[in-house]
Homo-oligomer: A and B are copies of this chain.
Amino acid sequence: MKKNFLFLLVLFASITISAQDKKNGVFDGGYIKNIMEKTAKWQLKNPRHKPTDWTNGAFYAGVFAAWETTGSKDIYKALMALGNDSTNWIPGKRWYHGDDIAICQTFIDLYRIEKKQHMLRATIDTVNKLIAKPYPVKGIETIKWWWCDALFMAPPVLVKLGLETKNSNYLKYSDNYFKECYDLLYNKEERLFARDLNYVIKNDGKDRYEANGKKIFWSRGNGWVLGGLVRIMKELPADYSNRTFYEELFKDMCARIMSLQQEDGLWRASLLDPDSYPGGEVSGSGFFCYALAWGVNNGFLDSNTYRPVIEKAWIALNGCVNKDGRVGWVQPIGADPRKNFKEDSWEVYGTGAFLLAGSEVIKMYD
């Protein structure tokens, strides 16, 4: 089975990898550009959700990174088509829901190149509505970002928008809502995020645990959080007042995530109970690889410590791409990750995570 072969390959690679191997293998700049273009194009040809879906929020973040890395005109055309043809630069309808604004990250990134105000209009309107009227139903106010994946989807939109329009309000709200979610879901001892309040240990007799007795922290959710942190920190100026909070959180989580990588270079669906979830999960692993490589590239993480982790992850991730450019071994939406997902389980966000990972790994060797 390919997966087992991969495992051996990775073991082997992690022992013998040398400067020359890297040059010729999956760390070669030319190879990375090719595989990014190939996987992006395969995924663009195999869409699965409506363009403004949260899944596409993550995917198009990766597509944009692929364009930055490769300069491919086809990819840029696909990005502009997302705006001009598929969405008219309008995010999803639920202004109050992180899921529906994730795609705005790409709208803003493209606006920064094209500078056409209409590309920003609906994003501004939607975020303004989110701030003015955060909940659709009066009187049932809960926190805005109540599940951890939201930290990838929403705060980078507010941060990018705030810096682009020089509107401080967006930055302040992003800080506040992020902190609210952090207070609710971050476990400081474990240095991981619970998926949502249902997974926070409350000692009320209803707490959920894994088969091995450990707490439940999903790989995917924590991957999205780290990816979101990168996308916030890439934006905020070095002297931004609240940067330290994000930087500390980022470093804490990365240290923990590093310790949870499995032998084959991938992370399991449930971070603390890998045995119950034997398959390496590519979307979470892709985000981890992206975050760790970015952290090294920008001096937040120690290069010597993290480089082997990143290399193992990138080798393994590449082993999950089939010959057509399809990124497999991606945990499906909502499905119980214990059920066997497979080599041909793909999801657009898995490809997004893979592309983001590639966009930072290539910088480690350029």
Q: CB within 8 Å of B: which residues of A?
A: 116-118, 120-121, 124-125, 127-128, 132, 161-163, 165-171, 233-241, 243-244, 247, 297-300, 302-304, 363-366
Contacts A128-B299, A298-B165 given; does A366 touch B236 at CB 8 Å: no
Contacts A116-B366, A298-B166, A366-B116 given; does A121 touch B240 at CB 8 Å: no
Interface of chain A: mostly helix, strand, loop or mixed: helix
**Chain B nearest Cβ from A236, distance in angstroms:** 6
Counting every copy of the chain, the complex holds 3
- Chain B hits for A239, CB < 8 A: 168, 171, 236-237, 239-241
Question: Are B124 and A303 touching (Cβ within 8 A)?
Answer: yes
Question: Are B302 and A128 touching (Cβ within 8 A)?
Answer: yes
- Chain B hits for A121, CB < 8 A: 303, 364
Q: Look across to chain B and name the residue whose beta carbon is closest to the beta carbon of A170.
A: B299
Question: Are B299 and A365 touching (Cβ within 8 A)?
Answer: no
Supplied contacts A116-B366, A167-B247, 20 more A-B pairs, CB within 8 Å: A117-B363, A118-B366, A121-B303, A121-B364, A124-B297, A124-B299, A127-B299, A128-B302, A162-B238, A165-B238, A165-B297, A166-B234, A168-B240, A168-B243, A168-B244, A169-B299, A170-B238, A239-B239, A239-B240, A239-B241
Q: Look across to chain B and name the residue whose beta carbon is closest to the beta carbon of A171.
A: B238
**Chain B nearest Cβ from A361, distance in angstroms:** 10
Q: Look across to chain B and name the residue whose beta carbon is closest to the beta carbon of A166.
A: B238
Question: Are B234 and A117 touching (Cβ within 8 A)?
Answer: no
Q: Look across to chain B and name the residue whose beta carbon is closest to the beta carbon of A236.
A: B166
- Chain B hits for A235, CB < 8 A: 166
Question: Are B118 and A365 touching (Cβ within 8 A)?
Answer: yes
Question: Are B297 and A161 touching (Cβ within 8 A)?
Answer: no
Q: Look across to chain B and name the residue whose beta carbon is closest to the beta carbon of A162.
A: B238
- Chain B hits for A127, CB < 8 A: 299
- A238 to B170 alpha-carbon distance, docked (Å): 9
Question: Are B124 and A298 touching (Cβ within 8 A)?
Answer: yes
**Chain B nearest Cβ from A95, distance in angstroms:** 13
Question: Are B298 and A238 touching (Cβ within 8 A)?
Answer: no
Q: Look across to chain B and name the residue whose beta carbon is closest to the beta carbon of A246.
A: B168
- A120 to B364 alpha-carbon distance, docked (Å): 10
- A162 to B244 alpha-carbon distance, docked (Å): 13
